[in-house]
Amino acid sequence: MTAASPTIAQATPLRQDAAVIGLVGLAHASSHFSHLLLPLMFPVFMKVFGLSYSELGLLMSIFFVVSGMGQALAGFLVDRLGARPVLFGALTLLATGCLWAARAQGYADLMVVAVFLGLGNCSFHPVDFTILNQRVSVPRLGYAFSAHGLTGNLGWAVAPVFMVGLSEWWDWRVAYLCAAMLFLAILALALWQRSALSTQVHRASHGAAQPVSALAFMKVPVVWWCFAFFMLSTMTLAIVQTFGVSILQKMHDVSFAAANMTLTAYMLCAAAGMFFGGFVAARWPVQSDRVVAACMTAGAGLFALCGTGLLNGTGTMVALAVTGLAIGIGGPSRDMMIKKATPPGATGRVYGMVYSGLDVGFALSPVIFGGFMDRGWYGATLVGGALVLLFSVLAALGIGKRTVARP
């Protein structure tokens, strides 16, 4: 019987589960923190290196392409080697990227930084969910997924304070050095608590008539339904992160400070939603697809309402923040839904492939809706995001029809 056995997992002490959830949550926060390491310094790069918006945009394209491709491949490494060594490598890559950024002398160096950060970021989802699914007791998985999503949002929230604050107090290069030290400190903690992060490597039975291919999971239709769900739902989040401030300013003449506060409020409401969503996921684990569909439908309705222009500036800002709450509540149930769709022994591969949809969504959305923004279709951008979110509802319901609950 392995460590992932339900019999053993259900007898796990609360303190042990909490330690695993805390360590994985900290790792996930570092992943989201890395998403903003480059874009937060774009104004500095334009001034110091004379870069254009197109060149800066290409840096993020490199980051998400590398992260998306790497995430799918990282799942195979997790299943073959275990999650723990892959996590150690990811944190080392992120620290290396920050050290390279601290000594960057031009655009070529920044492209190298984007590659290192993309490679470092790519493995966290297959790593995190492999550890959580194997090491956390089944009754507490909903809370574990809630904490995982919550810490990711907190990583986004901390990055601007950390990077911009250090840049203003000292220098942008010092900020990157401190970021590298932060990743190394997390790595040191993970090494110290490595026993809590160990996972079982799934190996095919030697007595099997025909060995199962490592790529067999890609022939399972529900895996691609999961991929589509993440791609579509992330495209709406990308609209908020990339164009939300500009839309509020253009549609309602909202101040730059107030628009940025709305973005922060969206993220904080999403984090609060994920906290409450943990109790929802624990209460209704079998109905996770319906919970996700209901939350995404509510979010789409609010998003579309903002796009109509019927609300004033204050009303739009409040509605956008509440959208984050609605989508956040569905977050833990979303992860429970993916768990049910995952074939036994393929956790790393499936989560790697499915969550690469996040990177695809982040890469596609600015390109598609950037054209809307260039034409002044600000409300249409929000309505388009609502429609995409509704398509993710159909994907969630499709996943539910093709899966059965697993303990």
Q: Span 361-378, mean pLDDT?
A: 83
- Predicted pLDDT at 213: 57
- Predicted pLDDT at 2: 38
Say whether pTM exceeds 0.75.
no
Domain ranges within the chain, ordered by starting residue: 13-197, 216-401
Split at pLDDT 50, 70, 90, the class of 348 is low
Coil, strand, or helix at residue 82?
coil
- Count of CA atoms in the C-beta half-sphere (13 A) of 1: 5
Q: Span 392-397, mean pLDDT?
A: 93
Q: Which amino acid is at 406?
A: R
- Predicted pLDDT at 406: 44
- Predicted pLDDT at 44: 85
Q: Are 78 and 123 in contact (CB under 8 A)?
A: yes
- Predicted pLDDT at 5: 41
| Domain 216-401 in the same topology as domain 13-197 | yes
Percent of the chain with pLDDT over 70: 90
Query: Which fold is adopted by the domain 13-197?
Result: Growth Hormone; Chain: A; (1.20.1250)
**Residues 236-272: pLDDT tens digits?**
988 887 788 788 888 999 886 787 778 778 888 988 8
Residue 316 CB-density burial (10 A; 0-12 exposed, 13-18 middle, 19+ buried): buried
The architecture of the domain spanning 216-401 is: Up-down Bundle (1.20)
Split at pLDDT 50, 70, 90, the class of 294 is very high
- Predicted pLDDT at 101: 96
Convert 203-244 into a string of H (helix), E (strand) and C (coil): CCCCCCCCCCCCCHHHHCHHHHHHHHHHHHHHHHHHHHHHHH
Q: Is the pLDDT of residue 339 over 80?
A: no
Q: Are 295 and 330 in contact (CB under 8 A)?
A: yes
**Residues 213-227: pLDDT tens digits?**
556 666 777 888 888
Q: Are 122 and 66 in contact (CB under 8 A)?
A: yes
